[in-house]
Structure 1
């Protein structure tokens, strides 16, 4: 399912227009992004939680030349599925 299909599904299930569903999805994306930027964890009970983790700096290899390169440390977003989501998928 791509973003357009997700918006259509939200609009259908929530009895909204596609424009309203688009705005709702953008608002959720924005709220989660802002919370993660501030270092907060976002939990949606039954669905899952979003949080950040720090990935350490490491040495990698350029696949074309084989030369070693330094990969800097980074903060990455993580998602952990909740029990209800896991159960519904299985």
Structure 2
């Protein structure tokens, strides 16, 4: 997607923003990490721009699948082996 082909929206400072600017903000938007003004700007862009809305839907779906997949915890024996390996690497790095 060319950012020149898809320029929409205006930032609070009055600058025209491209789709690339919004695509960078999608993750923060999904995680509710934007302030109210930025959320409104991103939402307005998504309401107007099909390609960005599809990217948003894809990111939202991936995030939901990952969240569902992360509900399981590793067995204690595996966790202990992983921690042992991490400590061994930390020791080698600090030496």
TM range (shorter): under 0.3
TM-score calculated relative to the size of structure 1: 0.27
More helix by share: 2
TM-score calculated relative to the size of structure 2: 0.26
More strand by share: 1
Structure whose CA Rg is larger:
2
